[in-house]
Amino acid sequence: MSAVRLWLVAYDVREPKRLMRLHRQLARRALALQYSVFLFGGDRRAREALEREIAPLVRPEDDLRIYPLPPGTKLWLYGPGPLPEGVLWVDEALERLLRRTGQ
Q: What percent of the chain has pLDDT over 90?
A: 50
Position 84 scores a pLDDT of: 63
Query: Can you give the pTM of this predicted structure?
Result: 0.75
Residue-by-residue DSSP string for 14-55: SSHHHHHHHHHHHHHHSEEEETTEEEEEE-HHHHHHHHHHHG
Give residue 58's domain range: 5-101
What are the phi and psi torsion angles at 55 (to 5°)?
A: -55, -40
Rounded CA separation 9/6 (Å): 10
pLDDT band, residue 101 (cuts 50/70/90): very low
Tally the domains of the chain: 1
**pLDDT tens digit sequence for 46-71:** 999 999 999 999 999 999 999 999 88
Q: For position 74, which CATH number holds?
A: 3.30.70.240
